[in-house]
Amino acid sequence: MLVLDERILADGTHARTHVTVLGDRVRIRDDDGTSGELSVAALDKVMTRYGRELEREIPLDGEALDLPGGYRLRRFRYHAIVDTEGRDYLVWERPGGEPLAAVGAMVTAALRYLVLRIQGEHSQESET
């Protein structure tokens, strides 16, 4: 299991979003009860869309989750020169490609959106 994002909600409580591997899929689970499965290909699309190549001098450290197909998702804190404080990033390590990095909160929001959208589609199907 890997924590994707930690945030403070409007009521002051803390919430986390986690990812775990379930066979050839990943489960996105949020402390608010949101939960769903996505394919590794969907995760690859999101990281490819939002990620940028990681600068070579930045060491790949931090917690990591190995995924089917030779992929790895890593979370680490980095303090870029332009930031006043460090931020959490997700790094997508892919076979045959350069690692891609993106701000963790942005990627997590996109993954949560996909999970909620799939849940909405499933609930509409069961209503008909």
Q: Which of 114, 119, 71 is nearest to 95 (CA)?
A: 71
CB 6 within 8 A of CB 90: no
The pLDDT tens digits of the residues spanning 36-76 come to 999 999 999 999 999 999 888 787 888 999 999 999 999 98
Q: What was the pLDDT predicted at 22?
A: 94
Three-state secondary-structure class, residue 32: coil
Q: What was the pLDDT predicted at 24?
A: 92
Q: Which residue has the tokens 């460090």?
A: 86
**Residue 13 exposure: Cα atoms within 13 Å on the Cβ side:** 5
| pTM of the shown model | 0.84
What CA–CA distance (Å, rounded) separates 122 from 126?
Answer: 6
The pLDDT tens digits of the residues spanning 70-97 come to 999 999 876 566 666 667 899 999 999 9
Q: What percent of the chain lies above the pLDDT cut of 90?
A: 63
